[in-house]
Amino acid sequence: GSPEDGVSLCCPGWSWPPTPGLRLAHGTTTLAFRFRHGVIAAADTRSSCGSYVACPASCKVIPVHQHLLGTTSGTSADCATWYRVLQRELRLRELREGQLPSVASAAKLLSAMMSRYRGLDLCVATALCGWDRSGPMLFYVYSDGTRLQGNIFSVGSGSPYAYGVLDRGYRYDMSTQEAYALARCAVAHATHRDAYSGGSVDLFHVRESGWEHVSRSDACVLYMEFSGSAP
């Protein structure tokens, strides 16, 4: 039944059986963009379950291997599971072929694996950020099998706000510091307006030498710093 039936539920806004389109943990802001010096991945850290904050300090950027990261959005459990499967698949191929598959291959493998479960309520919306033989590379993969290459992606309930900032400030030839500032600014603005995003802002950078966790900063503090100046 639904909450009106008087059934006591620990998670407000949750109903059983799950209605189609129910988003248990889609409340998030993640973004990734590709520029000359690599790929930037940034995300907020609030895990929400309806209007309940399940975790204020979760990490939504999952490392796959030394040169590949994934931003996660959708159902956290699905994301975690499929990333482990992807890690396994890529490691096996690395052992067989003597080299890691490209980011395009990894995205293809992930989308093919998930498209087999289409219609079964998998919800994984992820941006694969990596550096391979063709340089910095960014792919968006969704659990219905969508796979898109691009320069900028933002996923989650806060993505419209993040896109506003990103589209305004993005240039392929940015310096690394400019890129960090742009990413932090975009997520901070999204957390300011989106109720389901907040906590802190994680920032990752994938370079030629591998990925690096640049910083985790409080979202409110960041927004205060940025709100004075235009992005």
Partner 1 sequence: MASRYDRAITVFSPDGHLFQVEYAQEAVKKGSTAVGIRGTNIVVLGVEKKSVAKLQDERTVRKICALDDHVCMAFAGLTADARVVINRARVECQSHKLTVEDPVTVEYITRFIATLKQKYTQSNGRRPFGISALIVGFDDDGIPRLYQTDPSGTYHAWKANAIGRSAKTVREFLEKNYTEDAIASDNEAIKLAIKALLEVVQSGGKNIELAIIRRNQPLKVTLWEAEADGSREVRSSKLT
Q: Which stretch binds partner 1 (CB under 8 A): 33-41, 46-54, 103-111, 168-176?
A: 103-111
148 binds partner 1 (CB under 8 A): no
Q: Which stretch binds partner 1 (CB under 8 A): 4-12, 28-36, 43-51, 108-116?
A: 108-116
* Per-residue interface string for the shown chain with partner 1, residues 122-141, x marking contact by CB under 8 A: -----------x--------
Nearer CB in complex with partner 1: 37/93:
93
Select from 27, 101, 136, 169 the one that contacts partner 1 (CB under 8 A).
Answer: 101
Nearer CB in complex with partner 1: 19/134:
134
Least Å from the CB of residue 97 to partner 1: 7
Nearer CB in complex with partner 1: 5/97:
97
105 binds partner 1 (CB under 8 A): yes
Nearer CB in complex with partner 1: 102/215:
102
- C-alpha distances in angstroms, 121 versus 18, 23, 142, 179? 10, 10, 12, 35
22 binds partner 1 (CB under 8 A): no
Catalytically annotated residues: 28
Q: How many CB atoms lie within 10 A of CB 54?
A: 14
- C-alpha distances in angstroms, 15 versus 20, 174, 186, 208, 226? 11, 46, 33, 46, 39
Select from 22, 54, 55, 104 the one that contacts partner 1 (CB under 8 A).
Answer: 104
List interacting residues with partner 1 (CB under 8 A): 93, 97, 101-102, 104-105, 108-109, 112, 133
